[in-house]
Amino acid sequence: MDSPSQHSKRAPGLLDCPVGLLIGYDCARALKPTEVISGEVSDPYAVKTELGWSIVGSKTAQASSKDVTGFCHRVAVKELPPITPASVIKALETDFLDTNTRENNVSQEDIQFLQQLNGNIHHNEKGHLEMPLPFRQRPQLPNNKYLAVVRARHLKRKLEKNPKYKEDYVKFMDGVFKDGDAEETDGSPKEGNTWYIPHHGVYHPRKPEKI
């Protein structure tokens, strides 16, 4: 000891023997007994420190020093880093930084589409905004006019055979044009830019009077 106190002078000197197990011997606080439970003279006793309880000694009276077994219930301790005012301020400032990490994730295709939007967004005749679709390249649609004509012929025959179906179908299509969901076209369609939609009327199971 660097500065021995009065009670440490009464302790025996250092023994000339090999050390079997040495844990935290330089930390007197960890090994300082806070509670001792003892029995008879030859009985083992329990010592409580800040690390937990330890059993010292053996119940067998004939046990030699080689047979003595000790049990220690260890308590794991994790040292937390100190929290300084600077670290607290830094953590709070991250909630108010005007940055957006998603800006670094913009691809070249996104930039190209944004440029396309800036140059092609406009108001139509009805005052609604129109913008181009985000295609990588404008798709070329196949000519399906023949299929649409065949479907129209079947639909015409069904309308002629069923007056009720014809009445409901015409009423539905009038609503489609009135609501602006479809409109008549003028002029010749451009090759690759026209797609015909074959359609027919279907009754809803819960609304048999309406297509």
DSSP string, 104-132: GG--HHHHHHHHHHHHH-EE-TTS-EE--
Residues in a beta bridge with 129: 123
**Residue 159 token pair:** 């309308």
Given a cut of 70, whether residue 199 has pLDDT beyond it is yes
> What 8-state DSSP symbol labels residue 207?
B
Helix (H) or strand (E) holding 48: strand 45-49
Q: Give CA separation, 146 vs 1, 151, 183, 191, 197, in Å.
A: 105, 9, 21, 15, 11
Give the pLDDT of residue 17.
67
Report the distance separating Cα 148 and Cα 144, nearest Å.
7
Residues in a beta bridge with 123: 129
Please list, residue by residue across 60-89, b when 16 or more beta carbons sit within 10 angstroms of its beta carbon and e when fewer do. eeeeeeeeeeeeeeeeeeeeeeeeeeeeee
Give the pLDDT of residue 97.
64
Given a cut of 60, whether residue 101 has pLDDT beyond it is no
Give the pLDDT of residue 172.
92
pLDDT per position as a tens digit, 138-194: 777 888 889 999 999 999 999 999 999 999 999 999 999 998 888 887 777 777 678
Q: Would you list the domain boundaries of the chain?
A: 19-77, 107-139, 140-181+190-211
**Residue 122 token pair:** 């406009």
Give the pLDDT of residue 169.
93
Q: Confidence band (pLDDT; 50, 70, 90) for 25?
A: low
Q: pTM, whole model, 2 decimals?
A: 0.38
Q: Rounded mean pLDDT of 107-120? A: 81
Is 183 in contact with 151 (CB distance < 8 Å)? Answer: no
Give the pLDDT of residue 174.
92
Phi, psi of 118 (to 5 degrees): -60, -30
Give the pLDDT of residue 45.
82
Given a cut of 50, whether residue 2 has pLDDT beyond it is no
